A and B are shown apart, each in its own frame.
Chain A
Amino acid sequence: MPLTISGPGVSKLTIIDNETCDFAGGLLLITDSTNVNVSGLTINSCFAVDMFNGSANFTNMVFNGPAYSIAFWMGGGNLTISQCTFAGFEAAIADFTLGGTIYISQSTFTGGDSALLNFGGKMNVVNSTISGVGGRAIDSEEGGTLTLVNSTVANNAEGIYAIGDVVKLKNTVLSNNRNCTGDITPLDRWRLQHRYRRELPPRRDWGYE
C-alpha cells in the first residue's frame, strides 16, 4: 500500500531520534514492494531509512546525523532523492543493493565522513554538490555504476574513489579534494562494517572473508 508523508517544511517540523547509533534501526523501514513518498520535513537520526524493496521518493528534506550514522541504508529497491540536504553522516547514502537504482538531484551533502557509498548499485547524481566531507566524498565499488552530471565535488578530504566500477562524469567540477587517489584495503572494508554495527546484506564476494 502506498505511503505518503507530506511535512509542512524543513524548518517547521523536525523528527528527532535519540537512539544511540550502536543500536538504532531505521526510523522508516521499507520492506514491501510499495511506493513511499516523503517530503517537507527534517530528520535528525542515526539511521533515517532502511530500504530493502519497492520504490521511494524523498523531496525537499533535511537529514542530520551524528558520528557512525547512515541516512539511507539501501539493501534493495529504487530510491529517488531530490532537493535534500544531508549533513554530518558517516555515510549519507549507503547502497549495498548490487543492482538497485538511486537517482539524486538538486541535493547537497556536507560534513561527516562520506556522502555516497555505492557497492554494486546504479547511482546517478545530477545537479548536486558534495562539499566539506571529512573522508571520501564518494566510494564506489563492487561493479556498480556511478554517473555524475552537472555536479560539484569540492573541498572534501577525498574526492571520488572507485574500484571495479563504471564511473562516468559529465560537466562536473572536481576541485580541491585533497586526495583523489585514495586506496582501500580489506581492513578498511572490515572497519566499515564494524563501525556501522550493522549486518550487511548477503554478498557474492567480500574478498576478505
Chain B
Amino acid sequence: MKKEDIPQDDGALNKLTKEVVYAVDNAGNYTTELSTGWEVKATALNVTWKDIEQRIEDARQKVLNNEASPILYFMELRLMDIGIVASYTGFWKWTIKQNLKPDSFKSLSEKKLKKYAEAFNISVDELKTMNVHEE
C-alpha cells in the first residue's frame, strides 16, 4: 500500500487513538503513518455488534418466555461462552448448562447466585430480574 492510499475513515477506535499503519513512500521505502480508520473494517465491527445485539435480544426473549434462565441473557450480554463463565465462576460447564434451564436456576442457592452475579459484574437482584442500568 502506498502512503497516500492509507484510508482516513471514521471508526470506533477513533474515540481513543489513531493507529499505526505501514506503507511505502514515493521512493519505495517503508514508513509508518497514523490512520483514523478504514470503513471496510469499521463495517466488519458493526455487523459483528449487530449480531451480538440480536443474540442478546433473542436471549432476553427466551428468558421472558421461560425457555432459558437469566444466565443465558447475561452470558450473551457479557460476550461470554460457557467456557468463560466456567472460568469466572469455577463451576463445571455441565453445571452451567443445567443452570441455563429456568427450573434449575430457580433452585440455585444464594451462594451460587452470588458467584454468577460476580462473574457478570452485577448484583444478585439484577441477575434475577435482568434489570441492569449501565451506559
* A, B: real partners: no
